[in-house]
């Protein structure tokens, strides 16, 4: 029964991450400026002549290493799944080429906000499984622990500002949408969570060791 429960949770996490990738794909095709983190991914993909997904996966795995060995944050199976899957899902959607790049500003804004909403729905499904925070969320918490006098919102702004500056220098698609994403994404996520009656602070995330121990305990019972 326990194995089936974890399989169900893993499938839900994967579906949630795919929905997040759909949202990211829409924000990329809105053509009004991408999210702060994506400015870095897009800039590096252009610099290194690699796909968005390959750069996203590589950078996410690098952050996982930092989370684990420098900040000593808990890493769950969901964290690894997040790092490996989302970027490649975006590559798949780019290959399918279902949505053209917006050529006008107002439709682009509409697609940007639609993408942010879709991302929030994916985050709800993914986070509700309790299989671990995303690499960047764990990174934010780790930085926050080393800057205890600053509110977590201020720490998040500093990280967003830093990656946006680097993304801008790499010509990573900084635009009006980048600012809008930084300002409105949290509010949209909060609204989606409220509609879904989901409180992320009540979720107890498992790390990989805990998950394996619980599966082993159930099998030996």
| Residue range 105-140, pLDDT digits in tens | 999 999 999 999 999 999 999 989 989 888 988 888
Q: Up-side HSE of residue 199: CA atoms within 13 Å toward CB?
A: 2
- pLDDT for 145 equals 84
| Residue range 38-60, pLDDT digits in tens | 999 999 999 999 999 999 999 99
Whether the per-residue pLDDT at 26 is higher than 70: the answer is yes
The residues spanned by each domain of the chain are: 2-220
Average pLDDT over every residue of 194-202: 85
Residue with the bigger pLDDT between 73 and 109: it is: 109
- pTM assigned to the model: 0.87
Whether the per-residue pLDDT at 219 is higher than 80: the answer is no
Whether the per-residue pLDDT at 63 is higher than 60: the answer is yes
The beta-strand segments (E) located in 75-218 are none
- pLDDT for 218 equals 60
b/e string for 117-137 if b means 16 or more Cβ within 10 A? bbbbbbbbbbbbbbbbbbbbb
- pLDDT for 220 equals 58
Residue owning tokens 């969901």: 78
Residue with the bigger pLDDT between 156 and 67: it is: 67
């Amino acid at each position: 029964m326990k194995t089936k429960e974890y399989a169900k949770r893993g499938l839900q996490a994967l579906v949630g991450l795919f929905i997040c990738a759909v949202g990211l794909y829409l924000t990329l095709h809105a053509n009004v400026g991408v999210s702060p983190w994506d400015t870095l991914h897009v800039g590096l993909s252009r610099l290194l002549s690699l796909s968005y997904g390959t750069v996203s996966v590589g950078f996410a795995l690098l952050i996982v290493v930092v989370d684990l060995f420098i900040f000593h944050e808990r890493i769950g199976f969901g964290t690894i799944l997040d790092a490996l899957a989302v970027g490649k899902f975006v590559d798949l959607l780019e290959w399918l080429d279902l949505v053209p790049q917006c050529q006008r500003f107002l439709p682009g804004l509409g697609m940007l906000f639609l993408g942010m909403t879709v991302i929030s729905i994916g985050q709800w499904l993914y986070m509700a499984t309790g299989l671990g925070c995303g690499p960047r969320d764990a990174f934010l918490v780790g930085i926050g622990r080393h800057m205890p006098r600053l509110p977590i919102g201020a720490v998040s702004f500093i990280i967003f500002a830093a990656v946006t500056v680097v993304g801008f220098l790499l010509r990573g698609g900084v635009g009006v949408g980048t600012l809008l994403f930084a300002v409105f994404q949290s509010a949209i996520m909060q609204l989606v969570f409220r509609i879904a009656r989901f409180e992320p602070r009540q979720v107890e995330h498992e790390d990989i060791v805990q998950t394996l121990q619980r599966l082993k305990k159930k099998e030996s019972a």
